[in-house]
Amino acid sequence: MNKIVANADIAIRDVFDGATIAIGGFGICGIPENCIAALVKLDVKNLTCVSNNAGIDDFGIGLLLQKPQIKKMISSYVGENKLFERLVLSGEIELEATPQGTLAEKLRAGGAGIPAFFTPTGAGTIVATNKEVRVYNGRNYILEESITTDFAIVKAWKGDALGNLVYRKTARNFNPIVATAGRVTIAEVEELVPVGSINPDMVHTPGIYVKRIFQGSNYEKRIENRTTRSN
């Protein structure tokens, strides 16, 4: 039951070329920095990555774009990465832009074993292209397929050897649902604590979803878009 591994390199050792990976985080908050760095080092190629965002040019998922190691991104917000914009416009990377709530539900439903669902979001827009449409209570709904991936990598505030995870604040936006969507879920944590020291009522991701866990290090507290004003 002990799921602890020594470091990120060991945790992501079996990620393969062409794998699908769900990556936790909201913007550049709560992203699995150590796992991303290990993927860069491993130099796997042709990845399909599912994430709320595409990072920024020199941080987060942006590091995987530099070689590039990603062939396709499924994301809801990619506006802070100029490199990604260039790669998409040049046709070097495929982008499947997905409304943020729909993306969240795709991951949640996938983790719950639900293959597809109907949503009104995107009905009547380009998002609905080639998708089944049904009418419920006089309103159009489009069929969206759920997402499961080969791997999921997440970052939590605390975790134990069983893989129980606790997130803090904004990091809780996407990490919990990403953790459920991977066939192999890997968690890095700021603090690895003894089993039993996390109050069960405080667990956000139960350990049953997590296959490997390690204590990360050297986390950066970056600001995605700094806004200031004069006094």
In-domain check, residue 230: no
Supply the range of the domain harboring residue 130. Answer: 115-146
In-domain check, residue 82: yes
Q: Are residues 139 and 155 in the same domain?
A: no
In-domain check, residue 225: no
Confidence of residue 55 (pLDDT cuts 50, 70, 90): confident
In-domain check, residue 208: yes
Q: Are residues 191 and 85 in the same domain?
A: yes
Q: Are residues 119 and 30 in the same domain?
A: no
User: Are 171 and 30 in contact, with CB atoms under 8 Å apart?
Assistant: yes
Q: Mean pLDDT, to the nearest integer, of 167-177?
A: 96
Return the residue matching tokens 């939590």. Answer: 156
Q: Are residues 135 and 152 in the same domain?
A: no
Q: Are residues 90 and 163 in the same domain?
A: yes
- Least confident window among 103-112, 187-196, 219-228: 219-228
Q: Are residues 154 and 44 in the same domain?
A: yes
d(CA 1, CA 180) in angstroms, rounded, equals 18
Q: Are residues 163 and 96 in the same domain?
A: yes
| DSSP line for 181-229 | HEEEEEEEEEEEE-TT-S-GGG-SB-GGG-SEEEE--------SS----
Q: Are residues 92 and 23 in the same domain?
A: yes
Q: Are residues 142 and 157 in the same domain?
A: no
| φ, ψ at 71 (rounded to 5°) | -100, -25
Q: Mean pLDDT, to the nearest integer, of 154-174?
A: 97
Average model confidence (pLDDT) across the chain: 94
Q: Are residues 64 and 139 in the same domain?
A: no
Give the model's pLDDT for residue 2.
86
